[in-house]
Chain A
Amino acid sequence: MKPFAFARPGDVAEAVREVAAEPNAVFLAGGTNLVDHLRLGVARPELVVDVRTLTSREITDLDDGGLRLGAASTNSEVAADRRVWERYPVLAQALLAGATGQLRNMATTGGNPLQRTRCPYFQDVTTPCNKREPGTGCSAVGGYVRYHAILGTPGALPDPTAPETCIATHPSDMAVALAALDARVHTIGPAGVRTIPFVDLHRLPGDDPSRDTVLEHGELITAIDLPPLPEGTRSAYRKVRDRASYAFALVSVAAVVDDGDVRIALGGVAHKPWRASRAEEILRGGPLTEHAVRAAMDAELAAAQPQPGVESGNGFKIPLVARTVAATLRGLTEEQP
């Protein structure tokens, strides 16, 4: 591991100044992703600034009926909070479907959505990877693509040597639930404070796959707000994986349903948590019958690009995600009294 300086400043403003002043500085929260990356050589910072004890660990009720999750609240604490199970079951279920008890005790609200892809080539510093080392190419194209994207990619076989190619997925379960809930992210950065709609936090690779989110260097997440939901709203998270426990999602679905409105976010299919806006639009106001949901998902997935690769590539995700959405919505509507 490359040597680095370590700092725990007195407050968040100072933490932001310290990171902003050093181009190769990073924030540290629970460390469950960053420390792994330091050891793998994926992250090679000069300075690590610990913010775990600087941001709030509280979960507080908001005046509008929503809930504020302090950036340092742990994944365990959020999942165990009665207000979260009762009002936002989709979020509790997503958190509990992720990682393990030990990891959730360490992982934080600020760090979880900012965890980086589990693309095996990204984690292996001996292979070319545009996300880790811009301009070196993408080793995943035509390779091991089981966990890779089918939506938001440039095509069925992108150019592996092009500097903009990246077919990685975002691995967080929590982020998929937050996207479906239309959460809002509060940040403080060198340019001051701002609030970012959660659905706009993550980005597609565009011309710079090294950037996972729209956050600027030195911009710190201080809290994430869950907006209030109308009375009677139902929500659920469904994760499909290679093992029953302790595995990242192949695909996952977060769904939020109330009278006439439906919100659907997909995990494991794109570089960011994917809001199925096309399907939502088609389903809005109508009955959520199996037939309607299947038709809406066909429209959503019309542009999906299966990636060829070892073990027959990842085309299996297209029918799998459609079925998983249908099963999730069936669960939510059948329970209805």
Chain B
Amino acid sequence: MNRINKKLQEDKKLLSIYFTAGYPKLNDTVEVIESLEKSGVDFIEIGLPFSDPLADGPTIQESSTAALENGMTSEVLFNQLKDIRKTVSIPLIIMGYFNPMMQYGVEAFCKKCAEIGIDGLIIPDLPVQDYNENYKAIFEKYGIINVFLITPQTSDERIRFIDSISNGFIYMVSSAGVTGAKNSFGDTQKTYFDRIAAMSLKAPQVIGFGISNAETFKQATLNAKGAIIGSAFVNNLSKNGIKSIPDFISSIR
């Protein structure tokens, strides 16, 4: 069984962290991952930086630009991660935009992920239909889970469809917007969280975008299976460095 599915069966709310690979320094990637696991994080999204991250706010734009300037590429990332399964056992997901994966070759990319022990991919700008028609078979061949996004604007009908083709979790984007830390969620978000919970979907939901602290984590995981912290973690990492990771994580739950 894929590590993601195993993790989703655990009887607890899951905390996931997104960070940008190759940031703050090019060779920090592995140390960040190891520190996150030791601090008790349930799974990790490793951000593959892209020059034009359309769905990201300023924090992740800046970490992506810095990582690229540091020399991060798909090839470099795969090299950094080649022995990661000797030290890390929690699920690892690569999150990145489609173009770098397309240039690497989607099949070659998935094959490399499988060799290393990457469990899933999140590709915000790969459309559901395109995935279904052109890439699903490749992902399945290598046992890579593709994670789809839904938003407050996604229709019930489309959510049902996405649920039907999800074999891991559904990534619930918390609000209409790009990535970025928020201090609390308002009524619109609560209504949306309740609406999705009431749909009793087959795939567990993990909420991301705007989760930043214990309060937003708690609100998000009231119904959902877990939550993902991105920008707030990256902000903390750039301010306080890798050694601050355990404190940051213990401040969340």
A binds B: no
The residues of A with any CB-CB pair to B shorter than 8 Å are none
